[in-house]
Structure 1
Amino acid sequence: MNQFDFDIVLQKYLSGEQSPDEEKFINEYLENNPFNESPVFEIEKEKIGKRIKQKLYTDTIREPAYIRFLPWIKGIAASILILLGSWGFLKKSEYSDVLKLETLGNQGVVEIKNTSKKPQRVVLEDGSIVILKEKSSISFPEHFGDERRLVYLHGEAFFKVKRNPAKPFVVSTENLVTQVLGTSFTIKSYDDARSIEVLVATGRVSVYEVADKASSNSNGVILTRNQKIIFDKKSKKMELAIVENPVINRSEIRVAYGFTFLETPVKETFSLLEKAYGIDIVIENDAVEACKFTGDLTDLSLFEQLDLICKSLNATYERRGTTLFVRGEGCSK
């Protein structure tokens, strides 16, 4: 059996989906494997226990409901898989999709590092989901406290937070703190980057600067869906903007026939886009506001929709912060 086949069988064994023959193979392998008696195996027991605990926090395939405690022999199987990854039988390449988990000190803090080449899914104790990007890490308590759910991030991650008004969810980075009750958002905070970005997909997010020890003031802002903030680490300035690919919130708007318009006043057209994306659109002159629009905007992105509308109106639009401004000569009579 080659490395790939063994890996598949062992993963099936760990998840309880093995066939009788596969279970027999793994059990015999565990009994006969020389690593069981290796001094190195004994030395690594503590580290292995911590790595096995990773399965309680991460699962890139199944929902949390499918994660279960496994018998000790399956824990040994997982241990051997990790050990052999270093010692030859199942030697992994540097591209192995492995999340490293360690319990740091006596604080009961869990750290997860994504050393793979693709995003990894992490399920937190409260049911919140984190999509951890490559070369990124998060750390958090084994058990969240009574007042808040605190997570530290280095790098980039998307968060889908389980709503709990009584216990805010807080993400701390090098310079910024992001606090929510229940929403989804992305944070980009790489140590070697000049700026930090927070992008909101749904809900409302409070973002504020980590206050200087000598000052009680902190720079902060409230973000809503399809908005982002860019924080310059050097100048300490926050720039509000619209995300590059705004997404429609279909729970708040129902478009019976898609974005199809027939001689619709442009003010109504923009009003529908505002509601769909949660973004303010300001018409700066009456010449444009008096126009009507006919066209099909279905399946186009927001900015493609705006390009098409403005082209038909002899108008242009400009992004200023989190607002779009439209102006132009107006439609031909």
Structure 2
Amino acid sequence: MTEEKILELASKYLSGNISDSEKQILFEWLESDKKNEALLKKLKQIWDLSGNYESDYYPDVSAAVNRFKTRLASKQRKKYLNFTLAWKAAAAIVILFIFSFLIYQYINNDNATNSTENIKLIASLNANAEYSLPDSSKVWLNKNSSLNYNQDFKNRVVYLIGEAYFEVQKQNGEPFTIHAGNTKTVVLGTSFTVKTDSENKSVEVIVLAGKVSLEKQEEKANQTESKVILNPGEKGLYNENNKSVSIEKNKDLNFLAWKTKTLQFVNSNFSDVVSILSKYYGREIFVNTESIHNCTLTSTHQNQELNEVLEELQILLNLEYQIKENKVIITKGGC
């Protein structure tokens, strides 16, 4: 990472004005080497000593420098110069110089760290993708998901956007860490899924085998539960809105359907069936009859297209339906 980028991300992070995507880049940089964390701590000490800024104040260094020079050069405006603004501009310049010096010194003393290449694995909008990682662990990415890690993979740290299923190999007690949103999932050797939901601002982890630790990455948190240990059959949930981490039994039989290509229903309410089918196949399904709402369904559908599933439901529940454009309209049915 360049000196300018480190300066930009560090300033935004310390001022609390960093976006989720920028925070992920910063955390990735921190995880790549312990020296990076030490550097950020030094920058934080300088930031804390730099003055009493308002909590939402974030110095625009470029603007501060230009404004400060312009006002000093203008005799007429100089007498009207607001002392507080001038002080902030000067303070921003001092912070910039100190930050830049530390980062420049760090970069020149540790070129090897910055030369580490970042690897990005992706799944397209229309297909899942399977990859083997350098430690022989495997990952399956759901559609429109991505995974990043450093080429050397020395700390077994990855960064996920979207949804993925992992089968992690044990490696002499070395943990495997997945950063997703504002959470960190740590394992030794197990199989589990991690799903980020940007719309609902949440992260979900479901364990199939082994044990998994799920915790939030933010240091300042109002909630007492910041970490949970998940066992097989359990689901961990992180809620960005209230910064909480919770645990519950996983009741979703189809959480891994995107990978297994198998849908399972056991005494499932028909309205739930419709919701699952709509999400899985990416099609809108409307039910225009009241007679079927209270029906339940037990069935398994493996590697089938939507029209094949509808044909089976037609037999099981006496369905009548129409397909118009990309929509399915159920007009009749009962149990």
- Bin the TM-score by the shorter chain: 0.3 to 0.5
Q: TM-score, normalization: structure 1?
A: 0.39
What is the TM-score of this pair, normalised by structure 2?
0.39
Higher share in helix? 2
